[in-house]
Structures are given as C-alpha cells and as structure tokens.
C-alpha cells in the first residue's frame, strides 16, 4: 500500500514560504521520499524524469538558468510544471522570476522557498518523508520506553500487558502506546512505534477502566514515538513446554521484514513482570555494548571443565 502526506504538512514542517498564494494546495499529496534537483531537465533531458518528486532548485540550477537564454529557461520550467510536480522549492532564499510564478499559477504548481542551503534542506526533507511515508502495520500490544530501549509487550488479551506497563511507568519508565501499536519501517534496521491519535497516553485496566497516564503521572511518563528494540511475549505457563534458561541463542520475531529480538516469558502467580521487563531491557543493552552474561557463564564452565 502506498502512503501519501499532504503538501500543507510538508510546508508547515519545513517552514517553507509560499510564493504562489493563489494556487490551491489543499489537495496536493506527496508520495515519494526522494526529491529531485532538475538540472538535467533544465538542459532539456527529460528521460526517466519522476514528476512525483518534490523539485528542488539550488544555487547550481539557479545560476544555470540565469546564464541561459530567458525564453529557453522559461520553456524548460514550463515543461517541468506541465508534468504536475507536487511543488518546486527554491533554496537559499533565491529570488524567483515573475515568469516562474505565473507558470506556477497557470499549471497549479506551488512555488515555495526556504532559507536553508540545498544540501541541508534535501537531507532534512528526505529524512522526514522516510518516516511519514514508511510502510506500517498496527498490532495488538503495549510499547514502553525502558532505560532508553523500546520494549514491545505482546500476549493474549487479559494476560497482564497493561498492568505490567503501569508498573513500569510507576518505576519511572515511559508509556508510548497501550493496546494498539502502530509500527513504521523507516529503514532496514529501524522500526518506529507510536500510538493512534485517539488512544495516545491512555491505558485500559480491567476492573478500573480507562486512565490518562499523562494526567496522573505527568508529562515525563509518556513518549510519542520510540524505536522497537526488544519484544517480550507473555504466555500462560505450560508444564509440558521447555523454556530457554540460558539465552545463548537469540530468538527473533519479524515485523515488515525487520527482525527484532524476542523473549517468551511464561506467566505464573507471583512473578513480577515489571522487574523481568526491566532486566530484559538492561540485559539487551548490555549485549549491545559487547557483554553477554550467558556466554560468559558458558566460557567459565568450559574453562573449568578443561582444567580437570
């Protein structure tokens, strides 16, 4: 499924100046994460031109247009606008020719301007569009920021995910989402989780109802987005099932093609889920820093056996 973002949102986020106020931008959508500097198009080469991208005019393109004959520059710019590009952005607060503004009005293409340099603007808008237009899914679970690690708690309905999250919040950690987690794949390695707007900062506790975490515990207890680093799957204790007791081999689960480390935690009365989740997050962080407790124990046992 292809996602889009409103051009009005791009203008607001990037703090762009609108030079064509008569052009209606309400219905214009941006669907490509990449942008284009139309240097070749200004020279007349339109093969493989992607008209769905935001077009960026920098110092190089601007200087080239000034050096070419005016009629040719206007003709090339008109050909670009005929393709119904989402918008054209002039960087470095460059002065825009009145003829270009007239063309923008004629073809309904917004002409925008920014004070940023071309490279910095392109880097910023591409990074932002990669997040806004990323592949996404919604799953049932709870996402909490524990010691800076994104902990996604999953399990059957009623198993205690929200209660574990509430205990983590009371211990100083931050809630991202309860019940429904929206996951975006922003790169081959990074998944970003967030809450739907309608349920953000709320937790449902059976027997009590809905509570507003931000109101009860303060703004330091919530967070809008968080990378998903570790998954905890809560499941009912099964005497017949064997559970990993050493952790020498990592288990993974997959979202949108990205693998995430996953631990299955059996639930029995008396187990403190919040402490288990904290320990899992700290242990994961320790592994990222190069220390693996399970491997250290294995090495000690192996060395001890070799001495005998």
Assess whether pLDDT exceeds 80 at residue 271: no
Percent of the chain with pLDDT over 70: 95
Verify that 219 and 267 share a domain, yes or no: yes
Q: Where is the domain boundary, 110, 132, 154?
A: 132
Verify that 153 and 291 share a domain, yes or no: yes
Question: How many structural domains comprise the chain?
Answer: 2
Q: What's the mean pLDDT when you consider all of the chain?
A: 90
* pLDDT for residue 116: 95
* pLDDT for residue 289: 84
- Nearby residues of 13 by Cβ (< 8 Å), 6 or more positions away: 128
- 308 occurs within a structural domain: no
Residue-wise pLDDT for 48-97, tens only, equals 999 999 999 999 999 998 888 888 888 999 999 999 999 999 999 999 99
- Active site (catalytic) residues: 140, 161, 179, 245
Verify that 126 and 152 share a domain, yes or no: no
Report yes or no on whether pTM surpasses 0.85. no
Residue-wise pLDDT for 216-252, tens only, equals 999 999 999 999 999 999 888 776 677 666 666 788 8
Q: Name which residue leads in pLDDT, 231 or 306.
A: 231
CA distances from 300 to 33, 246, 291 (A): 50, 14, 14
Q: Where is the domain boundary, 132, 149, 179?
A: 132
Assess whether pLDDT exceeds 90 at residue 8: yes
Verify that 120 and 254 share a domain, yes or no: no
Assess whether pLDDT exceeds 80 at residue 133: yes
**CATH code where residue 123 lies:** 3.40.1390.20
Assess whether pLDDT exceeds 70 at residue 1: no
Verify that 125 and 236 share a domain, yes or no: no
193 is known to lie in a ligand binding site: no
Verify that 14 and 143 share a domain, yes or no: no
Question: Mean pLDDT across the stretch 30-41?
Answer: 93
207 is known to lie in a ligand binding site: no
Verify that 114 and 258 share a domain, yes or no: no
Verify that 189 and 259 share a domain, yes or no: yes
97 is known to lie in a ligand binding site: no
Assess whether pLDDT exceeds 80 at residue 4: yes
- 175 occurs within a structural domain: yes
- 306 occurs within a structural domain: no
Helix (H, G, I), strand (E, B) or coil at 248: coil
**CATH code where residue 238 lies:** 3.40.50.300
204 is known to lie in a ligand binding site: yes
Q: Where is the domain boundary, 132, 161, 184?
A: 132
Assess whether pLDDT exceeds 90 at residue 255: yes
* pLDDT for residue 288: 85
Assess whether pLDDT exceeds 90 at residue 284: no
159 is known to lie in a ligand binding site: yes
* pLDDT for residue 249: 75
CA–CA separation, 114 vs 100, rounded Å?
16
Verify that 197 and 114 share a domain, yes or no: no
Verify that 294 and 158 share a domain, yes or no: yes
141 is known to lie in a ligand binding site: no
CA distances from 184 to 48, 50, 189, 256 (A): 29, 25, 11, 8
Verify that 101 and 195 share a domain, yes or no: no
Verify that 128 and 141 share a domain, yes or no: no
Quickly state the pLDDT bin for 212 (edges 50, 70, 90). Answer: very high
Enclosing domain of residue 227: 137-300
């Amino acid at each position: 499924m292809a996602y889009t973002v409103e051009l009005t949102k791009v203008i607001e986020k990037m703090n762009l100046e609108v030079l064509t106020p008569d052009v209606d931008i309400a219905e214009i959508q941006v669907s490509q994460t990449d942008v284009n500097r139309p240097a070749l198009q200004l020279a007349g080469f339109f093969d493989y031109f992607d008209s769905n991208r935001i077009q960026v005019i920098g110092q190089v393109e601007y200087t080239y247009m000034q050096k070419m004959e005016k009629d040719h520059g206007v003709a090339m710019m008109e050909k670009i606008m005929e393709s119904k590009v989402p918008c054209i952005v002039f960087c470095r607060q460059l002065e825009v020719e009145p003829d270009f503004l007239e063309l923008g009005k004629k073809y309904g293409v917004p002409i925008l301007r920014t004070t940023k340099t071309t490279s910095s603007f392109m880097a910023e808008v591409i990074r932002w569009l990669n997040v806004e237009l990323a592949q996404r899914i919604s799953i049932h679970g709870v996402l909490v920021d524990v010691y800076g690690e994104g902990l996604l708690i999953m399990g059957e309905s009623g198993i205690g995910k929200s209660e574990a999250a509430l205990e983590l919040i009371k211990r100083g950690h931050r809630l991202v989402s309860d019940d429904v987690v929206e996951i975006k794949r922003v790169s081959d390695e990074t998944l970003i989780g967030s809450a739907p707007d309608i349920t953000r900062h709320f937790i449902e506790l059976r027997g009590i109802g809905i509570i507003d975490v931000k109101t009860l515990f303060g703004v330091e207890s919530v967070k809008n987005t968080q990378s998903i680093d570790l998954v905890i799957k809560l499941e009912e204790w099964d005497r017949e099932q064997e559970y990993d007791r050493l952790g020498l081999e990592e288990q993974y689960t997959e979202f949108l093609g990205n693998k995430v480390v996953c631990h299955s935690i059996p639930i029995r009365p008396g187990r403190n889920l919040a402490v288990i989740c904290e320990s899992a997050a700290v242990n994961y962080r320790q592994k990222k820093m190069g220390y693996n407790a399970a491997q250290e124990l294995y090495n000690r046992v192996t060395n001890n056996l070799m001495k005998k």
